[in-house]
A and B are shown apart, each in its own frame.
Chain A
Amino acid sequence: AQSVAQPEDQVNVAEGNPLTVKCTYSVSGNPYLFWYVQYPNRGLQFLLKYITGDNLVKGSYGFEAEFNKSQTSFHLKKPSALVSDSALYFCAVRSGGATNKLIFGTGTLLAVQP
């Protein structure tokens, strides 16, 4: 069965420091992987995706993610955190077959301290 795991409920980082939000996945076949961010009482905002190609994916607002097939991971990173990055982050994988169903992780709350 397809699944996504975000092992950390919360990540705390000081402004200006690098940040990493972890994600591992389990899927049959080649994965389509996504990161979304959610601000309070808002929908999901797309950050980046991996479908094929270069393992390092660059996305919006300075975020990037590295696809690691051997470790089945897709960690989200940013070199220098901003207070405005504080939000809820979701990793997702597209389910296999003729469907656009996304399977989400449980989310990681990122708190950036000034």
Chain B
Amino acid sequence: KAGVTQTPRYLIKTRGQQVTLSCSPISGHRSVSWYQQTPGQGLQFLFEYFSETQRNKGNFPGRFSGRQFSNSRSEMNVSTLELGDSALYLCASSLGGSYTFGSGTRLTVV
């Protein structure tokens, strides 16, 4: 079966710009979670969407937002990018206590 697809794989953006990342979960999975991974902070939870509703949100500023569509695909958006937003962004598709991660999007802010 197809895994979790994240696009794009790599992004380079300039400070102040905004960016949108996409995550397509495994077919039939209605829950999608997003995580930010940095060398200093490790893996931190951003938010979770279930059936198009945000079910939980991590401790990130309002510049970080997300949404989920009726086909369970999810997007996250970061506005007014800062250098500190440079990270690997991972999404996880889950069902019944199983979590499958995508390969991530590497965002570099210059």
Contacts and interface: CB of A to CB of B under 8 A. Distances in A.
Interface residues of B, number: 26
A32 B99 CA distance: 11
Nearest to B56: A99
Interface residues on A, range: 20 to 34
Chief secondary structure at chain A's binding surface: loop
A36 B101 contact: yes
Contacts of A51: 97
Contacts of A44: 90, 92, 101
A105 B44 CA distance: 10
A43 B99 contact: no
Given A98-B55, A99-B56, A102-B92, A49 B48 contact: no
Interface of B: 4, 6, 31, 33, 35, 42-43, 45, 48, 50, 55-56, 58, 88, 90, 92, 94, 97-104, 106
